[in-house]
Amino acid sequence: MTESDSGQEEFKPWGMKMNSFLLLMHLSQLSSVIIPLAGLVMPIIMWATNKDQSSVVDEHGKNILNWIISAVVYGLFMLPLIYINLGIIALAALGICTLVFAILGGVKANEGEVYVYPLAIRFIK
């Protein structure tokens, strides 16, 4: 634990600097490109094991979970469109958004900011 500017102790998840943890939390979604579903599981594990110990982790985690759930919902809605040749373009766009949003989220988290994913639906408040 370290002292924050306000004099309160700040918890460091898994012994890392808070920003490093948040950066990893966002960028772990990128693993879904390499290992299917890993990018969905890692942020959930990181958030679930640390959310009660830091409001910062909880805030970032909710944003990530809302985007993951939203991306899955969008993907399910796009599947029928594949049969009329619109879904492939839409799924490709969703895949690009997933990559871009995760990178932006990680960069912003490392700068100490909370990144709100533009296409995320607020399932978890």
- The per-residue pLDDT for range 76-110, each reduced to its tens digit, is 888 888 777 777 888 888 889 988 999 999 999 99
Question: 3: which strand partners?
Answer: 9
pTM for the model: 0.81
Domain-wise residue ranges, the chain:
18-110
pLDDT category, 63, cuts 50, 70, 90?
Answer: very high
CA–CA gap between residue 15 and residue 17 (Å, rounded): 7
- Nearest CA to 117 among 50, 74, 65? 65
Counting every residue written for the chain, the total comes to 125
